[in-house]
Amino acid sequence: MQRIWSEESKLAHWLEVELAAVEAWAELGVVPASEARELRARATPPTPARVAEIEQTTHHDVAAFVDAVAENVGPAARFLHFGLTSSDLLDTALALQVGEAGALIQNGIAEVIATLVSRAQEHCGTVMIGRTHGVQAEPLTLGVKLAGFAFELDRASGRLDRALQGMRVGKVAGAVGVYGGGDPELERLVLSRLGLQHEPVATQVVARDRHAELLASLALTASSLERLATEIRHLARTEVHEVEEPFGRGQKGSSAMPHKRNPVVAERICGLARVVRAAAAVGLENVPLWHERDISHSSAERVIIPDAFLALDYMLGKAAWLFGGLVVHADRMRENLEASGGLVFSQRLLLALVSAGCERDEAYRLVQRNAMASWESGAVFRSLIEQDDEVTGRLAPGTLEEAFDLERALEHVPVVFERLSALIETKEVAARA
């Protein structure tokens, strides 16, 4: 990712667009074919240092680039940048860089999904408590939780793919998009060589709603990774201690407290998600440019687009590492589930009473009365229920045991894994295609 967004890579992509334009002009008979061949043979990407040196005089990066390339080409250099405006070069080359960077991000997402699927299948039956508002709710399994994250990242991949398709456009349409110095056929030939589509109606630039969509999809992916990482941070708290980040031999969790094993990588993912979301906000600000173009977007994009890709690429690598090596304390999960004294079965008891003919509000109050007593006294919820004749008197024999049956509470978990298997099969078919 660093290579793609390096100055050397940028200048190499600029040169590729310039040479594609010269060769297209030659195909149209405007530039002598011999000179196009000479340019292809002799032109090399200039060093960033040389471009920067010339820019000290020109105060224009593209002009400095063209001058730097021309230094080593000879007379054929007069056809460099022929009929182009700066944004023909910049936006078209940026589309090429985004395509390369996007492929790396998609590979990273696929790696995290594969890791999550593997760990989900491993822990399909690892029972734990689900929480809403941070408070114990009802049982589920760790596998279900991880499967949900896998599906979320699969949606992120699809979203990003659509945004990347939207970015596979360039333009060689001149200063205001009407081919004043060029030819629509030139644009078709150039973009065909580069594997891009044309912007249907360009101004001086490719419209920035495309870039905003791209940055928004990167930000959503980062936010999904933050959701995963936030879950790990909560479950790793001392009072919960259901999972831990991998902790290597020789690692130090704190400079002051030797006992510490902190979820530092998960916290790092959360912090970098803020950076990627900030880039998306700037991308939205870049959409409303003046008339056919101003330059307010340019300086910002030089920071936010590489930074968003670099940060997300790093986050994906760390997420794959985190979930691949995640330490799971299944016994602690069971302890925490049982710590409520059976309160987590309150809805099942409520439904049993309703099914037995009790009005819903009355059933709710009967269950809640015992639940609140359990909360306040620490008494076991089921024991309180067994002593409450108003509840037990309404239930048929065996109903109470069924309401507090953990296996019955989780009997539909296999449905989630059927869906996960379908997702895997779909992705495998797509990969083969």
Question: Distance (Å, rounded) from C-alpha 91 to C-alpha 305?
Answer: 13
Cβ-contact 160, 309 below 8 angstroms: no
358 phi/psi in degrees, rounded to 5: -80, 140
The two tokens of residue 164 are 């990347």
Cβ-contact 243, 236 below 8 angstroms: yes
What lies within 8 Å, CB to CB, of 389 at 6+ separation is: none
The two tokens of residue 237 are 């708290």
Cβ-contact 380, 374 below 8 angstroms: yes
Residues recognised as catalytic: 133, 254
Angle between helices 142-166 and 86-122 (to 10 degrees): 160
* Burial (Cβ within 10 Å: 0-12, 13-18, ≥19) of residue 156: buried
Question: Distance (Å, rounded) from C-alpha 342 to C-alpha 274?
Answer: 39
The size of the chain, in residues, is 433
Residue whose C-alpha is closest to residue 167's, from 142, 190, 195, 139: 195
Q: What sign results for the dihedral spanned by CA atoms 332, 334, 335, 337?
A: positive
Beta strands 169-170 and 197-198 are parallel
The two tokens of residue 150 are 């896998």
301 phi/psi in degrees, rounded to 5: -65, -30
